[in-house]
């Protein structure tokens, strides 16, 4: 019962968000029901659409974990974006340059990406633990450093000969299998879901997770309980970094047709920031994040159909989506704000 | 001349039902220093927060120069010339003294008006005789000077009535002397001062008149010339005879805890515990009385492994303890009922079960391989704990938030007692609890004593200390002013020591 309450609240929020979005469409003389029907059918109407929706959801559930695992430990870690770039670069490197046998190659490329993401979170983590540097500041800075570093590496070292707009594609041995002909959904989604499940289990089923959550809930009580606070924070950063790194990899070795990183980083950009919204909608819970990511995926994929079936202009589609997301994020945002105010 | 300020029949009930003031009359004349004396929770600070507009009285009226006034906020009070310097400073550390003084008064731009304000501030400081380096960032100044800035900030707003809340608590003796010289000068200039304190010597030295509060009522008012420490102490702590809890009469056993010459540094970087020595024996309750903020918290934190020891040593069962961590303290048999359950003792959003293993989450008993929590065992343990210690909870998986304060505290106390410790460190164990929970927790502590445990009770509630303890000490400014069997002291003597005065014929 009690556990179901956040889910219920989120469902109510979805309803309110849809109504608000509908209200926004009315003055522009669009038909909200028709538009939503197009949205829903676009997102879930055919098996192919469901798979596209899930393909959009895959990286988002991971970057949501980055934020959620931070919040659980009392951090406001918004470094998923940068950690994901570095993870993507790591994946490109391992997938396109290392000649490895099938199977092993996927594994190595995935792990390299996760380690790269974790390493990129290490400096903000240590700055926080040793010097008390606020993670919002340091992770924003590291996002920019990552952006330029990734762009540089993509153009100067990893560019595909003759096609400077993108990196070398992943070798076929490093590509996750596509789940259905013509779809962009690959088996990487299983890895992503598995990772979310693992984080869920870690947070609520292990001593380490208990201590991380205790640090987030009440750092003084954590000290009283003998928790090494620095260690708990470090793990929160590193697990978040691994999630973001995996999100980066999912776009390189788990997303046709490019199988590579664009030099503009266009095929990964903003996935990390979107994860913050996904995490809020998912109530900072790794499993809630999966559901929220699917919702986001549906809005992204289905939104296109709103445009050409219900004729809603694309700007309004985005506004409606944004409105729904904001409404959804309010319950969790409110708890976060309230916690800041009362402490 | 009539009083400048008159407060009549002031009542204050906090939203949570706590009654802080029960009909207090207070007046203050021009050029007068009034000492407001009392224990923790007597209502001193509440009364003055009402006068300075920070709190609204539930009932009662305030008159200034005979006219009734109503302050909705501190700005109202400041306009009426009343300003308060709080115990916790409200300064911006990287700003200079000058910037801090004019902050909030500067209009649109702090830096534009700074030079204009500088002259004004200079003149004010010369007038009242304060010396402050105006261009030094606050964080580089010692506490005593920071306090002067805090006072200057209030005076700069044209204050005629200055309220100081325990102003000497962080000061060195030399700084106290300086502060007093300065206060006398202010008084000669015609300003009125309220000096909140629990220190008898200081109030006798600086004030013209003394008002003593206890339990939200004025228990005595006297001109300082006629006051004696004994009289003030009696007003402060009352003379009620506390019924002793029934206990098995048995001689205490071997010393479990021996503390030698312990020194602990407080949050301000100054020694908070200044060389105390004592022992707690098996089968006895050793109670430490004293007004809060005299080093008790720091002492408890040091024994619980939460604060490093600066000097001295702690022996448990005759063996010296190394640098303690909370886990190490528990391993060696110390259970710690922390002073503030919400701050240290629990996480409100955690489940009851999660709270029942807080501080034991590392124990192999509650873990399976790979650091996994053994939930079935934890839930069974919690259920047994709730039953054994009469904790009423909606369920073991309910959030701790859903428990009443009394049941939250019983959960914390039960969790600690279930550790089967050698030494129980109980800090303010019944603060803010209902009567039934208070009685139950006190009974538990006596049971532990009767079962041969050593209990160190630290409490600002004098009645509690007198009711439960076999031996007591009174802590004042980081030191013990008296140690001995509880029967050896009269209540008045304890009151004197809580105010910092060692009664005649008693050496420590």
Q: Which residues, given as ranges, of chain B have pLDDT below 50?
A: none
Minimal CA separation from B493 to chain A, in Å: 35
Distance CA B51, CA B67 (A): 14
Place of tokens 């005979």: B66
Q: Do B304 and A205 touch (CB under 8 A)?
A: no
CATH class of residue range A31-334: mainly alpha
* Minimal Cβ distance to A205: which of B343, B361, B373: B373
Q: What is the reported pLDDT for B244?
A: 72
Distance CA B303, CA B325 (A): 9
Distances (CA, A) of B48 to A185, A309, B62: 68, 69, 12
Size of interface A-B (CB pairs under 8 A): 65
Mean pLDDT of A79-106: 96
* A2 interface with B at CB cutoff 8 Å: yes
Per CB-CB distance under 8 Å, the chain A contacts of B363 are none
B325 CB-contact burial (10 Å; exposed 0-12 / middle 13-18 / buried 19+): middle
Q: Do A224 and B372 touch (CB under 8 A)?
A: no
- Name the 3-class secondary structure at B51: helix
Q: What is the reported pLDDT for A343?
A: 45
| B260-333+447-498 belongs to CATH 2.60.40.420 | no
Domain ranges in chain A are 31-334
Q: What is the reported pLDDT for B505?
A: 65
Domain ranges in chain B are 5-237, 260-333+447-498, 338-420
Considering the segment(s) B5-237 as one domain, its CATH architecture is 3-Layer(aba) Sandwich (3.40)
Q: What is the reported pLDDT for B474?
A: 95
Q: Tokens standing for B23? A: 């009909």
Distance CA A272, CA A247 (A): 8
pLDDT per position as a tens digit, A192-209? 999 999 999 999 999 999
Q: Tokens standing for B491? A: 């209540």
List the single range of A223-232, A248-257, B103-112, B391-400 with lowest mean pLDDT: B103-112
- Return the closest-CA partner of residue A325 out of A60, A71, A117: A60
Q: What is the reported pLDDT for B108?
A: 56
Q: What is the reported pLDDT for B507?
A: 54
- Return the closest-CA partner of residue A207 out of B361, B194, B226: B361
Same fold, B5-237 and B260-333+447-498: yes
Torsion sign (Cα): A208, B339, B318, B468: negative
Q: What is the reported pLDDT for B504?
A: 73
Q: What is the reported pLDDT for A221?
A: 96
- Return the closest-CA partner of residue B19 out of B10, B28, B27: B10
* Minimal Cβ distance to A224: which of B354, B359, B362: B359
Q: Do B347 and A211 touch (CB under 8 A)?
A: no
Q: What is the reported pLDDT for A60?
A: 97
Q: What is the reported pLDDT for A1?
A: 37
Better pLDDT: A281 or A85 = A85
Selected residues 122-151 of chain A with any CB under 8 Å from a CB in chain B: none
- Return the closest-CA partner of residue B165 out of B189, B195, B134: B195
Best of B297, B372, B379 to disrupt the A interface by mutation (most A CBs within 10 Å)?
B372
pLDDT per position as a tens digit, B109-123? 666 677 778 888 999
In this structure, the number of other CB atoms found within 10 A of the CB of residue B32 comes to: 20
Torsion sign (Cα): A329, A332, A335, A340: negative
Q: What is the reported pLDDT for B503?
A: 81
Q: Do B306 and A217 touch (CB under 8 A)?
A: no
User: Residue B432: phi, psi to the nearest 5?
Assistant: 70, 15
In this structure, the number of other CB atoms found within 10 A of the CB of residue A267 comes to: 15
Strand partners of residue B137: B96
Place of tokens 């102490």: B233
Q: What is the reported pLDDT for B17?
A: 77
């Amino acid at each position: 019962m009690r556990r179901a309450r956040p889910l219920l609240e989120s469902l109510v929020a979805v309803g309110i968000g849809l109504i608000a979005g509908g209200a926004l469409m009315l003055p522009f003389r669009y038909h909200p029901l028709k538009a939503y029907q197009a949205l829903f059918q676009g997102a879930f109407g055919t098996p192919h659409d469901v798979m596209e929706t899930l393909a959009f959801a895959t990286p988002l559930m991971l970057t949501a974990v980055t934020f959620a695992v931070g919040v659980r430990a009392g951090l406001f870690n918004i470094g998923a974006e940068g950690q994901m770039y570095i993870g993507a670069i790591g994946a490109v490197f391992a997938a396109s340059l290392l000649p490895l046998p099938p199977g092993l190659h996927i594994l190595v490329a995935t792990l390299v990406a996760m380690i790269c993401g974790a390493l990129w979170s290490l400096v903000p983590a240590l700055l926080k633990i040793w010097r008390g540097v606020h993670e919002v500041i340091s992770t924003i800075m590291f996002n920019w450093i990552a952006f330029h570093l990734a762009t540089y590496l993509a153009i100067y070292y990893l560019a595909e000969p003759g096609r400077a707009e993108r990196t070398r594609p992943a070798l076929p041995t490093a590509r996750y299998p596509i789940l259905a002909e013509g779809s962009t959904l690959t088996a990487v989604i299983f890895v992503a879901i598995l990772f979310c499940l693992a984080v869920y289990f870690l947070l609520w089923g292990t001593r380490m997770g208990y201590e991380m959550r205790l640090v987030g809930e009440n750092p003084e009580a954590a000290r009283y309980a003998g928790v090494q606070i620095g260690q708990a924070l470090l793990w929160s950063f590193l697990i978040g970094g691994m999630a973001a790194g995996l999100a980066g990899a999912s776009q390189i070795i788990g997303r046709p047709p490019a199988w590579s990183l664009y030099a503009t980083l266009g095929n990964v950009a903003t996935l990390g920031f979107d994860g913050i919204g996904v995490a809020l909608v998912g109530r900072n819970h790794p499993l809630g994040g999966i559901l929220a990511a699917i919702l986001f995926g549906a809005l992204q994929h289905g939104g296109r159909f709103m445009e050409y079936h219900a004729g809603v202009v694309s700007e309004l589609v985005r506004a409606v989506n944004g409105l729904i997301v904001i409404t959804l994020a309010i319950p969790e945002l409110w708890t976060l704000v309230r916690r800041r105010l009362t402490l | 001349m009539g009083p400048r300020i008159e407060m009549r029949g002031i009542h204050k009930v906090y939203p949570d039902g706590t009654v802080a003031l029960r009909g207090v009359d207070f007046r203050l004349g021009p050029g007068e220093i009034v000492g407001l004396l009392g224990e923790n929770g007597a209502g001193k600070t509440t009364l003055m927060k009402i006068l300075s507009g920070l709190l609204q009285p539930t009932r009662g009226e305030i008159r200034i120069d005979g006219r009734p006034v109503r302050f909705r906020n501190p700005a109202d009070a400041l306009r009426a010339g009343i300003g308060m310097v709080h115990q916790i400073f409200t300064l911006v550390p990287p700003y200079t003294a000058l910037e801090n003084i004019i902050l909030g008064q500067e209009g649109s731009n702090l830096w534009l008006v700074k030079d204009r304000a500088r002259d004004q501030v200079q003149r004010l400081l010369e007038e009242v005789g304060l010396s402050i380096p105006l261009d030094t960032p606050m964080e580089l100044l010692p506490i005593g000077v920071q306090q002067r800035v805090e006072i200057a900030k209030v005076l700069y707003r044209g204050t005629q009535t200055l309220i100081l809340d325990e102003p000497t608590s962080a000061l060195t003796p030399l700084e106290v002397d300086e502060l007093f010289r300065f206060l006398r000068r202010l008084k000669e200039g015609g300003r009125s001062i309220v000096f909140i304190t629990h220190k008898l010597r200081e109030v006798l030295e600086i004030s013209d008149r003394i008002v003593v509060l206890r339990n939200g009522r004025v228990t005595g008012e006297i001109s300082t010339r006629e006051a004696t420490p004994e009289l003030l102490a009696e007003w402060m702590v009352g003379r009620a005879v506390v019924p002793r809890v029934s206990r098995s009469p048995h001689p205490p056993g071997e010393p479990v805890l021996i503390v030698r010459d312990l020194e602990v540094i407080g949050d301000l970087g100054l020694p908070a515990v200044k060389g105390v020595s004592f022992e707690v024996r098996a089968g006895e309750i050793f109670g430490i009385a004293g007004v809060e903020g005299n080093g008790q918290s720091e002492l408890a934190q040091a024994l619980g492994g939460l604060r490093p020891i600066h000097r001295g040593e702690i022996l448990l069962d005759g063996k010296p303890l190394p640098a303690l961590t909370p886990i190490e303290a528990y391993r060696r048999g110390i259970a710690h009922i922390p002073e503030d359950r919400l701050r240290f003792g629990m996480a409100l959003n955690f489940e009851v079960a999660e709270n029942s293993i807080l501080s034991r989450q590392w124990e192999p008993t509650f873990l399976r391989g790979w650091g996994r929590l053994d939930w079935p065992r934890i839930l069974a343990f919690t259920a047994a704990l709730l039953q054994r210690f009469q904790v009423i909870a909606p369920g073991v998986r309910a959030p701790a938030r859903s428990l009443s304060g009394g049941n939250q505290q019983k959960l914390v106390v039960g969790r600690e007692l279930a550790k089967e410790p050698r030494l129980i460190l109980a800090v303010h164990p019944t603060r803010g609890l209902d009567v039934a929970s208070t009685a139950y927790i006190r009974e538990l502590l006596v049971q532990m004593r009767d079962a041969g445990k050593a209990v160190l009770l630290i409490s600002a509630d004098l009645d509690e200390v007198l009711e439960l303890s076999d031996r007591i000490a009174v802590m004042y400014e980081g030191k013990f002013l008296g140690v001995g069997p509880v029967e050896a002291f009269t209540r008045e003597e304890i009151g004197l020591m809580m105010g910092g005065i060692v009664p005649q014929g008693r050496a420590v």
